[in-house]
Amino acid sequence: MGTKNLKRIRNVAMIFVVAAVWIFYFFPIYWMVSSSFKTRADTFAIPPKWLFWPTLQFYLNSFTDPKFLKVIQNSVIITGTTVILSLLLGAWAAYAFARFRFKGSLTLSFSLIIARMMPPIVFIVPLYLLFNSLKLRNSHMGLILVFTVFNLPFTVWMLKSFFEEVPIELEEAAWIDGASRLQAMGRVILPLIAPGLAATAVFAALLAWNEFLFALLLGGPDTTTLPVFLSGFLGERDVEWGDIMATATVAVLPPTLLVMLVQQNLIKGLTLGAVKG
């Protein structure tokens, strides 16, 4: 009887703990999404309104605004090209590090980790001057290059960990059949690590999609990405929170859905392949 009661108390305590965790992590998300459906009057209501008539006004505003559509287009082009470029270059380098032992291979691969650890702000002044003199400021190309270089340490290490999981014998079999190393890599290895490639692509996309510092300082009116656009709202005289929260919801939604799809390799993605999930 006593142990039964104890068990019941523990179960109830557990429910409270889990509920508290949900509220802590989800309330801010709920507040963002619900604020995007609140009219101006409801947002500024004191006390805050929990029940309200939802309005689609802000989403309609956004998606009929050519400026906003241009921003989405910028974000998609820049993110997409960055992902392709960093996956392509990253896969070559990762293959070299996984399959060849050469002089300086350790130093080079670890120098990439150090580059990942550096605060981006360290590079901003020289890059700003460099981009000014090369006329790369306010160009898609410029942002794509910078995002790619900050993505490469991640893609190289992540893909290296996937390449290392594939037994060399599989490749050797392809060589015997007359394939070159690159052919064997393309036809045998890459299809085998397809889930790993997908996860790497998603995390690379996340980095490019959310990047703010370089997009703000090296970009310009022609390259405004979603984060830069979002930050721009605050400079306006009348801050329209409905617009802000609708845009924020649009910015958060695609990466969240994508990451849900690659959960298997989530932990690797979060730690550069250092921890297996």
Partner 1 sequence: MTSGEQRASFEQGQVSEGMQGQIRAAGGERRNRLLGLPLHFILIAPTFLIVFGLLVYPLGYAIVLGFSNKILTGSVPFKWVGLENYIDLLEVDSEMWTSVGVTLRFALVGVFFEFIIGLSLALLLNREFRGRTWLRVGLLVPLMVPPLASGLIWRIIYDDEFGVFPHLIRTVGANPPIFLGDPDWALYAVVATEVWRSSPFMVLVLLAALQAQPVETIEAAEVDGASGWQVFRLITLPFITPVIIVALLFRTVDALRTFDLIFLLTAGGPGTTTEVISMFIYRWGFRHFKLGFTSAASILLMIATLIICIFYLRMLVVRQAEVQLTQE
In angstroms, rounded to a whole number, what is the distance separating the alpha carbons of residues 164 and 186? 15
Yes or no: say if 260 and 251 are a contact pair by the CB < 8 Å rule.
Answer: no
In angstroms, rounded to a whole number, what is the distance separating the alpha carbons of residues 154 and 90? 8
In angstroms, rounded to a whole number, what is the distance separating the alpha carbons of residues 181 and 187? 10
Q: Is 252 in the site for partner 1 (CB under 8 A)?
A: yes
Smallest gap from Cβ 91 to partner 1, in A, equals 9
Question: What contacts 221, CB < 8 A, 6 or more positions away?
Answer: 138
Q: Scanning residues 157 to 216, which ones bind partner 1 (CB under 8 A)?
A: 168-169, 172, 175-176, 180-182, 206, 209-210, 212-213
* Sole binder of partner 1 in the list 120, 141, 187, 264 (CB under 8 A): 120
As a whole number of Å, the CA-based R_g of the chain is: 24
Smallest gap from Cβ 129 to partner 1, in A, equals 7
Question: Of 1 and 27, which has the nearer Cβ to partner 1?
Answer: 27
- Tell me the number of residues near partner 1 by CB under 8 A: 91
Q: Which stretch binds partner 1 (CB under 8 A): 27-35, 63-71, 157-165, 189-197?
A: 27-35
Token match 């960990």: residue?
161
Smallest gap from Cβ 148 to partner 1, in A, equals 7
In the shown chain, the binding pattern of residues 29 to 68 toward partner 1, with x for contact by CB under 8 A and - for none, equals: x-xx--x-------xxxxxx--------------------
Q: Which stretch binds partner 1 (CB under 8 A): 53-61, 62-70, 189-197, 224-232?
A: 224-232
Residue 221 DSSP class: T
Give the distance from CA 215 to its chain's centroid: 14
Question: Of 1 and 169, which has the nearer Cβ to partner 1?
Answer: 169
Q: Is 156 in the site for partner 1 (CB under 8 A)?
A: yes
* Sole binder of partner 1 in the list 90, 162, 205, 224 (CB under 8 A): 90
Yes or no: say if 115 and 52 are a contact pair by the CB < 8 Å rule.
Answer: no
Please tell me whether residue 251 adopts helix, strand or coil conformation: helix
